[in-house]
Amino acid sequence: MTPGKLYLVPAPLDFGCDVQAPLQDALPLGTLQTAAGITHWICENAKSARAYLKRIDTVAPLAAPLQAQQIQELPREVHKKGDHAGQFDAKPLLKAALEGHDIGLLSEAGMPAVADPGSSVARAAHELGIAVVPLTGPVSLLLALAASGLNGQNFAFVGYLPQDADARNQRIRELETLALRTGQTQLFIETPYRNTAMLQALTQTLQHNTRLSVARGLTLPTASVRSDTVKAWRAKTIAVDERLPAVFAIGR
């Protein structure tokens, strides 16, 4: 039997936001049509996966009714600890693909396995001889980098910074040193309700000539990107909406 494929299906970046833009404004029709034809899914949360499929159905009719979709959730520990270290065996989740069914891998927002769990599923698919097909859609990290005016030829995404204030400030100084020494742009994210604390820590800790970019609510009608020196940020600090996801970047 010919195995199915594993499709990495991007989701819009409006998860958890008050306003949701039309899907076709953020994702190509081809991506939505491919997703509509899939009936087996691996996701972070089944409830939000069903909500996304319901939105897809308004643009491209689903191949099977919502209640007939086969949806599996990644274990909760994968959400908390990540799954890139090879400690989670995702092969059992791909049983349907070995039986000839295509499977879609979903994140809550953006591209699965990028700043989100899912890499273990892609890795398991390769090991089982299942084709892995990434579909086109928004990736907040690259959108933020492109709009920042910082170095797009040499950059790193470093995930979340520590929550403890002292540890966070130390990490900010480490990343700044690396960015100024090598020219490598440093990208990181934070839970939206801590955006204000993060911005305050950055403007208070970074050197005044370091450049700081904050991209908020990308692809949404309320999207904004500000990129300036820390000195300019201090002179006119703008509050960060604590409901919108943000991507922070520092460089020179």
Structural domains in the chain, sorted by start: 6-134 (3.40.1010.10), 140-251 (3.30.950.10)
pLDDT tens digits, residue range 82-115?
676 667 889 999 999 999 999 999 999 999 999 8
Q: Do residues 110 and 82 lie in contact, with contact meaning Cβ atoms separated by under 8 Å?
A: no
Q: How far is CA 64 from the centre of its chain?
A: 27
- What's residue 85's pLDDT? 64
Please give the mean pLDDT across all residues of the chain.
93
Residues contacting residue 105 through CB under 8 Å, at least 6 positions apart: 6, 7, 8, 9, 41, 42, 43, 112, 113, 118, 121, 122
| Alpha helices in the chain, H assignment, sequence order | 23-26, 29-36, 46-57, 76-81, 95-98, 119-128, 140-148, 165-182, 195-205, 230-235
- What's residue 82's pLDDT? 66
Rounded to 10 deg, the angle between the 165-182 and 195-205 helix axes is 60
Q: Do residues 112 and 31 lie in contact, with contact meaning Cβ atoms separated by under 8 Å?
A: no
Residue scoring higher pLDDT (89 or 144): 144
- For 97, counting Cβ atoms within 10 Å of its Cβ (0-12 exposed, 13-18 middle, 19+ buried), the class is buried
Pairing of strands 103-106, 40-43: parallel
Inform me whether the pLDDT recorded for 53 exceeds 80: yes
Q: Do residues 112 and 146 lie in contact, with contact meaning Cβ atoms separated by under 8 Å?
A: no
Inform me whether the pLDDT recorded for 237 exceeds 80: no
